Structure 1
Amino acid sequence: MPWLDWASLFVRWFHVVAGIAWIGASFYFIWLDNSLREPPKWKKEQGIKGDLWAVHGGGFYEVAKYAYGPKTMPSTLHWFKWEAYTTWLSGFALLIIVYYFGASAFLIDPSVQAMTPATAIGLGLALIFGGFALYELACRSPLAKTPRLFAVALVAMICVASYLATQWFSGRGAYIHIGALIGTIMVANVFLNIMPNQRKMVNAVAENKDIDPAWGAGAKLRSVHNNYLTLPLLFIMVSNHYPMTYQHPHNWLVLILMMATAAWIRHFFNLRHQDVVKPSILVSGAVAMAAITLWVSWPQTVAETSVNAQSPSQVSVAQNVPSKQQITALIDKHCSSCHSRQPTDDIFTIAPLGVVFDNWQDIERYAGQIPRRAAVTRDMPFMNKTGMTEQERQQLDAWFKAAYN
């Protein structure tokens, strides 16, 4: 349905723009709050808790944060909420357009779990909103008074959710649902906690009442939670372009390790804003990323990576390298229905990424990608809807190694 593709394009475009605004604001305000320093005495007498000076755009800026609030409400007060709301609304619309309208193609992988689109969508919504409910209950429980224990519980919940998602959905569908869960938690922090507490503060100033310090502390805590979740969420947003992550046999563990490392690296910058410099965090983060890369990229045995177990005779590659005619026949059988100038596939009416295999010149042009996607990451054919066998994958790999290595 071409209209669905256009809707996906425009909603995705808007989602990226809104996300940039929201995450940029999160980075800026955490930097701002952590960079405040003790003000001079005359500012303290006015109720200012911290201040800073900055230079940007050809001018100097002076920023001050009140311990409680100004004596009178300013005529113009800027709020920051629509960045969060529009990011979530557009992201959820994109989830519906791509993964729910196209559940049979993008969300359901029969080799993982055979189910109806209605069941898959129900499980997806349960994962998102059920996970959010658990997080919100934890935040409102005594557990929240012990930050380290709360962090362990949050990580455990995300680990369980990641594992369940990869047991239910396709790799891409699983990753995007964990992203939707994190995004829902983040926007709910704004809607249910940050904004209500800030409204209480504004009303108290307007009515000349005392401000409860717990309001600001609660809002700041949720902002910090959101800040640490930004880099993991960004990884999920770009991961659908890199099948070596979501197609890995232990894709749930890849996701958890990447998110944990990203949050750890974010911790370095949050400390840096407070003049606490710990290079060991960046070094350990880089080492962790390198270790994950090495592990994910390490050659797997066929038995470990094969979705459908084959007999040893099927798995072994023939001594003779497949001929040009054999490779062409394989690609015509398994790839050309989508990757053609005139696709016949019921989902892809335009060749994905413009990659076509209509003749041998086309095949040679993309020779480096064909065996990698078919025999290494194994995300092609898409959802293996044409039933490519392990022997056929190995033939493509043998052809490429003999011809180009």
Structure 2
Amino acid sequence: MYEMIMMWDWLGFAIRWLHVITAIAWIGSSFYFIALDLGLRKVPDLPVGAHGEEWQVHGGGFYHIRKFLVAPENMPDHLIWFKWESYMTWISGFALLMLVYWVGGELYLIDANKADLSLWQGIAISAATLSIGWLIYDRLCKSGLSENPTLLMVLLFVLLVAMGWGLNQVFTGRAMMLHLGAFTATIMTANVFFIIIPNQKIVVADLKASRTPDAKYGKIAKLRSTHNNYLTLPVVFLMLSNHYPLAFASEYNWLIAALVFLMGVTIRHYFNTCHARAGNPTWTWAVTALLFLGVIILSTMGLEYEGDEEEQAALSGSALVMAQADGFEEVHEIVMGRCSMCHAREPFWDGIRTAPKGVLLETEADVALQAQAIYLHSGVTDAMPPANVTFMEAEDRAAIRRWFRNAEG
């Protein structure tokens, strides 16, 4: 049994590592080609069909790059296809989603306080969101809205916000954020698999058959590639969000996700404009900062938060101060009853071999040392216990907040 648990943990680590590696490769190549495409210049000696060229220096060498809008007159013998980075990122991400949110669904996927679902129903919803969202998006792109890309982007944003809200009605906040990211990443990979690569293959086949390729295929692929460009940064945020309970465990987490998508647009607009040498839109910095301020405000709105700015002084209090503060005994009992079965030196919750993230909550000293984490994860937010599996009551969370506030006096 012990060996199986170890192998399961290492399997999760290996899949996560693969996911990070392939995601870096995909995002890196995507950002590079977007910057390259926007930075192309017109010169007098361009060959027939060439749109522009760029000279670059890297690693001690010089690179001369040219782009053809449709294709060159003669197909080169060696052609590199950028597709496996995208495919392997999605495959490894989907495997990781199954490992964490399907196998561990009772802890991380379903929130019994939101919806009375069995595990298999939660898994079915999880799987369905990845496909249904793509079908809706793809239909929008093929409906003629491709001629109005701004309106299409607005509708895509509405779809993403609606999906976030809907997922939040049945899943834990952590699962909502992750699934919204997975849903968005599915759109991006499906764009590559179903649209961009097939269209490029049509062009290659036409060239090999001595036919003139239709420029429409490049135009369609370009639209989908642009969408991927603007969606990349929000996906990275959503995939990392489970480390930040103030993002995923707040009442308005789905609105936080919506603002993150807008920040992705403003950040990418700045870089895209600079790469195209079309100006320096520093106004995007201010807009991004305001959007992030909105995220910070939303992270605590609607919570039963008590205290004022002076309460923050308690964050730097020592463990001794926390242990001596009024209410510590009550909080210690709450933690023993709601948290210590997992956060123990020898956890006795099924499936957990070691205390999550090494956080121990057994002794009074443990609780005092982890005061800030307890306050943020179980007092200010409902991040812990995950999915509230130990049924921590609102009164318990209020007691944690009172204790933490008392420590300042």
Taking structure 2 as the reference length, the TM-score comes to 0.90
1:209 Cα shift? 1.7
Please give the residue correspondences for 1:3-402 in structure 2 after superposition, counting only pairs within 5 Å.
3-40=7-44, 42-44=45-47, 46-276=48-278, 277-297=280-300, 300-301=303-304, 322=326, 324-402=328-406
What is the rounded CA distance, in whole Å, between the counterparts of 1:291 and 1:328 in structure 2?
34
Q: Is contact 1:228-1:266 (8 Å) kept?
A: yes
C-alpha separation in 1, matches of 2:340 and 2:31: 45
Bigger drift between 201-210 and 265-274 goes to 201-210
The Cα RMSD (Å) is 1.9
- Is the CA contact (8 Å cut-off) linking 2:304 and 2:380 kept in structure 1? no
Task: Provide, for residues 112-149 of structure 1, a one-character-per-residue CA deviation record: whole Å limited to 9, x for no partner.
Answer: 11200111111122222111101111111112221122
1:54 counterpart SS class: strand
Q: Give the 3 Å change call, closer, same or farther, for CA 295–249 of structure 1 in structure 2.
A: closer
Partners of 1:210 and 1:228 lie apart in 2 by 32
Contact 1:39 1:48 in 2 (8 A): no
Is the contact between residue 105 and residue 347 of structure 1 (CA under 8 Å) also seen in structure 2? no
Secondary structure, in 3 states, of the residue corresponding to 1:53? strand
Instruction: Find the aligned partners of 1:173 and 1:323 in 2 and give their Cα distance.
Output: 32
Deviations along 1:252-281, one digit per CA (max 9) or x if unpaired, are 111111122222221111121111221112
Give the Å deviation of 1:329.
2.2
The answer for the alignment partner of 1:307 in structure 2 is none
In the TM superposition, what whole-angstrom CA distance separates every residue of 1:328-378 from its partner, at most 9, and x where no partner exists?
Answer: 322211221111111111242210110112322222221221122111012
Deviations 1:284-343 (A, max 9, x none): 11122123213424684369xxxxxxxxxxxxxxxx964554333222112211111111
The 3-state SS of whatever aligns with 2:299 is helix
Structure 1 alignment gaps of length 5 or more: 304-319
Q: Structure 2 vs 1, CA of residues 67 and 355 (structure 1 numbering), >3 Å: closer, same or farther? A: closer
Quick one: which amino acid aligns to residue 17 of structure 1? Answer: I
Q: Structure 2: any 5+ residue segments left out of the alignment?
A: 307-323
**Counterpart for residue 314 of structure 2:** none
User: What is the count of residue pairs matched by the alignment?
Assistant: 387
User: Partners in 2 of 1:331 and 1:191 — Cα distance?
Assistant: 48
What percentage of residue pairs aligned between the two structures are identical? Answer: 37
Task: Give the letter for the 1:378 counterpart.
Answer: D
My pick for the range that moved more, 107-116 or 390-399, is 390-399
- Secondary structure at the aligned position of 2:154 is classed as helix
**Following TM superposition, by how much is the alpha carbon of 1:205 offset from its aligned partner in structure 2, in angstroms?**
2.2
Q: 1:295 to 1:98 in 2, by over 3 A?
A: closer
- CA displacement 1:38-97 (0-9 Å, x = unmatched): 022x224x4322001111111111111124322222121111000000001101111111
The offset of 1:389, in angstroms, is 2.1
Q: In structure 2, what is the Cα distance between the partners aligned to 1:229 and 1:159?
A: 13
2 CA distance for matches of 1:288 and 1:179? Answer: 19
Shift of 1:212: 1.0
Select between 3-12 and 181-190 the one with higher mean Cα deviation: 3-12
**For the residues of structure 2 that align with 1:49 and 1:381, how far apart are their CA atoms?**
56
**1:385, CA displacement in angstroms?**
1.9
Distance 1:299 1:364 in 2: 27
* Secondary structure class of the residue paired with 2:91: helix
Matched AA of 2:343: H
Kindly provide the amino acid, as one letter, of the partner of residue 52 in structure 1. Answer: E
Q: Which amino acid aligns with 1:51?
A: E
User: Which residue in 1 is equivalent to 2:319?
Assistant: none
CA distance in 2, matches of 1:404, 1:321: 8
Q: Take 1:122 and 1:94, find their aligned partners in 2: how far apart are those partners?
A: 16
**Is the 8 Å Cα contact of residues 264 and 281 (structure 1) preserved in structure 2?**
yes
- Provide the rounded CA distance (Å) in 1 between the counterparts of 2:52 and 2:389: 60
8 Å CA contact retained: 2:69, 2:218: no
Matches of 1:366 and 1:302, distance apart in 2: 19
Q: Distance in 2 between matches of 1:14 and 1:279?
A: 36
Name whichever of 165-174 and 146-155 sits farther off: 146-155
The answer to which structure, 1 or 2, has the higher relative contact order (CA under 8 A, 6+ apart) is 2
Paired residue secondary structure (1:368): helix
Q: Is the 8 A contact 1:321 1:398 kept in 2?
A: no
Kindly provide the CA deviation profile for residues 183-205 of structure 1, in whole angstroms up to 9, marking residues without a partner as x: 11111111111111111222222
The change in CA–CA distance for 1:67 and 1:260 in structure 2 (over 3 A counts) is: closer
Q: How far 1:19 moved relative to its partner?
A: 0.5
Look up the match of 1:317.
none
CA distance in 1, matches of 2:36, 2:82: 14
